[in-house]
């Protein structure tokens, strides 16, 4: 099927060179420079001396930054877990929807995925802010309850206080779940769709209830897809910049925010470069893990996307 290069040398080079050169010049070279900077020291305002020092990496694992790293991982993991719990029934519902409903449900999941990230974050902020819809609804319920209590002779509730739903860790996780849910649902859907329905029916027929069937048949067989979903969600959540920046408080910075600060404000590029590469290594580790796990499971049922 695939040809050796010698068959049509000219065609090969004419077609291969443009993308190759582009990737090398505009992608690999910039990354390589950042990598080199991570072993350098700042000299003056714009000068970086690449001295081969590991000082930037040493600084990155100081408690202050290590804590942010650990926190980013915890936040991303929590986001992933919530997406899995929320998304699994949704994926299941799409798989078992009738042919008429299925494309619409898929579209409903895809649509936010296509909508601008900034738009979605902004929409969520508008809901959660102190004069937002969430607090507005809360106030209304509070006032009604208070009124009813007064009506039946109880002391009315105290003065209403808005909930602080924004600029804290809760907001960051909520925002990340909001943004990343489609990342989880789509690979889960792909895996569950490939599952032979008669396996579920056989399990029910043999005396297992729905929950036992889920955990003893559906989950093990969809495991490659679930792992794919976890990693596809975890990786961008770990490197998230916008959500913690716009929705987080002073203590909810994630690693990407620290990197941005080194490049845009603190002007400590070597240190920022080291942090970037630590994030990149973590990402590669997750992707390699997925490949290993995918190879490990010899099951044919669903390899995710």
Partner 1 sequence: MSVDQASLGHVRAGAVEKAKPIISFRNVVKTFGTTVAVDDVSLDIEAGDFFALLGPSGCGKTTLLRMLAGLEVPTNGQILIDGVDMGTTPPNKRPVNMVFQSYAVFPHMTVRDNVGYGLRMDGVPKDLRAERVREALELVQLGALGGRRPDQLSGGQRQRVALARALVKKPKVLLLDEPLSALDAKLREAMRFELSQLQQTVGITFIMVTHDQNEALAIASQIAVMNKGSISQIGKPADLYEFPASRFVADFIGSVNMLEGRLTKDEPSEAIVACPELAPFPVHMPHAVPGNVGAPVWIAIRPEKMNLHKNSVEPPQAPECPSAHNVARGVIKEISYLGDISIYHVAIASGRMLRVSRPNRSRWDQEGFDWGETVWVSWAGSSPIALLS
Partner 2 sequence: MATHPAPLEYNRRWPMRLWLFGVFFFLYAPLVALIAFSFNNSKRNIVWQGFTLDYYKKLFNNNELMLAFANSLTIAACATLIAVVLGAMAAIILWRFHFWGKSAAEGTMALPIVVPEICMGVAMLVFFTRVMPWPTDLAWPLNLGAIIIAHATFCFPFVAMVVRARLESFNHEEEEAARDLGANDWQAFRDVLLPHLMPALIAGALLSFTLSLDDFVITFFTSGPNTVTFPVKVYSMLRFSVTPEVNAASTMLIVLTVALMFVMMALQRRAAPTGKG
Question: Can you read off the two tokens belonging to residue 53?
Answer: 């020092």
Among 186, 217, 256, 274, binds partner 2 (CB under 8 A): 256
End-to-end CA distance of the chain: 24
Binding site for partner 1 (CB under 8 A): 196, 198-199, 201-209, 212, 216-217, 220-221, 298-301
How far from the centroid of its chain's Cα atoms is residue 222's Cα? 20
Among 225, 248, 272, 302, binds partner 2 (CB under 8 A): 272
Cβ 199 to partner 1 shortest distance, Å: 5
Which spans in 24-116 are helix H? Answer: 29-37, 55-60, 63-95, 102-114
Which position has the token pair 């580790």?
285
Look at residue 31 and give the partner it binds from partner 2, partner 1, none, a contact being a CB closer than 5 to 8 Å depending on partner kind.
partner 2
Q: Give the Cα separation of 7 and 65 in Å (integer).
A: 54
Within residues 67-126, the interface with partner 2 by CB under 8 A covers 86-87, 89-90, 92-93, 96-98, 101, 107-112, 114-120, 122-126
Identity of the residue, 86 or 150, whose beta carbon is nearer to partner 2 in the bound complex: 86
Among 41, 81, 208, 242, binds partner 2 (CB under 8 A): 242
Question: Can you read off the two tokens belonging to residue 28?
Answer: 């690999």
Give the chain's length: 305
Within residues 177-196, the interface with partner 2 by CB under 8 A covers 178, 181
DSSP state, residue 155: P
214 in contact with partner 2 (CB under 8 A): no
What residues contact residue 105 under an 8 Å CB cut-off, 6+ apart? 93, 94, 97
Look at residue 133 and give the partner it binds from partner 1, partner 2, none, a contact being a CB closer than 5 to 8 Å depending on partner kind.
partner 2
Cβ 204 to partner 2 shortest distance, Å: 5
Identity of the residue, 78 or 242, whose beta carbon is nearer to partner 2 in the bound complex: 242
Q: Give the Cα separation of 57 and 38 in Å (integer).
A: 8
Identity of the residue, 82 or 200, whose beta carbon is nearer to partner 1 in the bound complex: 200
């Amino acid at each position: 099927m695939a040809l050796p290069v010698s068959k049509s040398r000219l065609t090969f080079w004419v077609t291969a060179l443009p993308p190759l050169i582009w990737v090398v010049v505009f992608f690999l070279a910039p990354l390589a420079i950042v990598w080199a900077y991570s072993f350098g020291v700042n000299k003056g305002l714009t000068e970086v001396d690449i001295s081969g020092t590991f000082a930037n990496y040493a600084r990155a694992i100081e408690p202050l930054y290590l804590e942010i790293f650990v926190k980013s991982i915890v936040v991303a993991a929590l986001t992933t877990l919530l997406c899995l719990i929320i998304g699994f029934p949704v994926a299941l519902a799409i798989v078992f929807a009738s042919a008429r409903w299925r494309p619409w449900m898929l579209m409903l999941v895809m649509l936010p995925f296509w909508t601008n990230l900034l738009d979605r974050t902004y929409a969520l902020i508008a809901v959660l802010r102190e004069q937002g819809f969430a607090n507005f609804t809360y106030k209304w319920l509070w006032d009604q309850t208070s009124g009813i209590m007064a009506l039946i002779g109880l002391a009315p509730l105290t003065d209403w206080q808005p909930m602080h739903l924004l600029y804290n860790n809760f907001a960051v996780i909520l925002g990340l779940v909001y943004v990343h849910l489609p990342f989880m649902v789509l690979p889960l859907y792909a895996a569950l769709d490939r599952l032979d329905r008669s396996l579920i029916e056989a399990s029910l027929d043999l005396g297992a209830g729905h929950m036992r069937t889920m955990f003893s048949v559906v989950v093990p067989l969809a495991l490659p897809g679930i792992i794919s979903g976890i990693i596809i969600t975890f990786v961008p959540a770990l490197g998230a910049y916008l959500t913690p920046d716009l929705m987080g408080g002073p203590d909810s910075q994630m690693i990407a925010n620290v990197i941005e600060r080194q490049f845009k404000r603190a002007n400590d590029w070597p240190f920022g470069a080291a942090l970037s590469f630590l994030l990149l290594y973590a990402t590669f580790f997750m992707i390699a893990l997925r490949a290993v796990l995918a190879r490990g499971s010899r099951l044919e049922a669903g390899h995710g996307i």
